[in-house]
Structure 1
Amino acid sequence: MEMNKRKIPFSPPDISELEIEEVAKALRSGWITTGPRTKELERRLAEFCHTSKVVCLNSATAAEELNLRVCGIEEGDEVIVPAYTYTASASAAIHCGAKVIFVDSQKDNCEMDYDKVAEAITEKTKAVVAVDLGGVICDYDKLYQAIESKKNL
């Protein structure tokens, strides 16, 4: 079954007055990182996700590195990353000591070439970093098929 191609607008941002007020409250509180508002957000997210603990980080880059570390990515492992992305996609893997394997984009768009993902997978591949870029969502079904085609390595 072919899924409808989804595109999330890259710009303009969708920011309401409520969000602006909340940012102003945070700035006025004197805490802009790990203060009481962050702890409240962590508590509420944990409740929403039905888990005992949530940790807020300062960036998606930090979150990606934490994800890789939690998954056990370490020196000698390979992590496949799209060639067309922000450098953070690769730097998180490098910080874990992994070797980055770049996969080029498809001929007519910025999505990574899923056939090339399958070709790049080796016995050392421990992760594939999917990137939704500029409002174009990764085709996760095709990516999973590419990974599944190599699962017996």
Structure 2
Amino acid sequence: MDIQFVKPDITEAEIEAVIKVLRSGWLTTGPVTKQFEREFASYLGTPRAACMSSQTIGAEFILRMLGVGEGDEVILPAYTYSASCSVVYHVGATPVLIDSHVDCPEMDYDAMEAAITERTKVIIPVDIGGVVCDYDR
């Protein structure tokens, strides 16, 4: 199987914006982050939004907010970054890994459905290499 990855589309304006933030000395809690949080919250129609330092801490934060813990199962694709699975262990739950489709990197949705049990608390889909999961399914 030949799985193609997509080259990221990064503009010069985006590069300059990153350089500006780096030169400001504020990487995580500075004015650009605070402005983004305000605009993102407004976009979502919620009073607040909080940026996290990584997807890993964000995923763990969400699992903890959902009450995921010991005795719970979390379904996720086998083809993913290790952090996707490690956060499940961090909260004390059991990861249930689902193989990919034969012809693309998405998890096999039929296998995912078959893996759902009464202990399944969360399904974590992962977009891989520019291939977006079928979230409606």
TM category (shorter chain) comes to 0.7 to 0.9
Task: Indicate yes or no: 2:119 matched with 1:119.
Answer: no
C-alpha displacement of 1:140: 2.4
- For 2:99, the equivalent position in structure 1 comes to 104
Report the Cα distance in structure 2 between the residues aligned to 1:123 and 1:62, rounded to whole angstroms: 26
Q: Where does residue 74 of structure 2 map in the other structure?
A: 79
Uncovered stretches (5+) of structure 2, i.e. residues with no partner: none
Query: Structure 1 residue 75: deviation in Å?
Result: 1.3
1:101 alignment partner, SS class:
strand
Partner secondary structure for residue 60 of structure 2: helix
1:39-85 deviation digits (Å, cap 9, x = unpaired): 12111211222211110011112221122122221111100111111
Deviation at 1:109? 2.6
Provide TM-score, normalisation by structure 2.
Answer: 0.88
Q: Give 1:125 deviation, angstroms.
A: 0.5
Task: Give distance in 2, aligned partners of 1:137 and 1:40.
Answer: 28
Deviation at 1:10, TM superposition (A): 4.5
Once residues 8 and 105 of structure 2 are traced to their aligned partners in structure 1, the CA distance between those partners, rounded to angstroms, is: 21
The one-letter code matched in structure 2 to 1:123 is: E
Q: What is the aligned-residue RMSD (CA, Å)?
A: 1.7
Residues 4-153 of structure 1: matches in 2 within 5 Å? 10-142=5-137
Letter in 2 for 1:82: P
Equivalent-residue separation in structure 2 for 1:20 and 1:28 (angstroms): 12
User: How many Å separate the matches in 1 of 2:29 and 2:110?
Assistant: 42
Q: Deviations over 1:4-27 (max 9, x none)?
A: xxxxx9532222222122112111
Question: What count of residue pairs does the alignment treat as equivalent?
Answer: 134
* Poorly superposed stretches of 4+, deviation over 4 Å: none
Work out the CA distance in 1 between the residues paired with 2:29 and 2:69: 28
SS in 2 for 1:117: helix
Once residues 5 and 50 of structure 2 are traced to their aligned partners in structure 1, the CA distance between those partners, rounded to angstroms, is 27
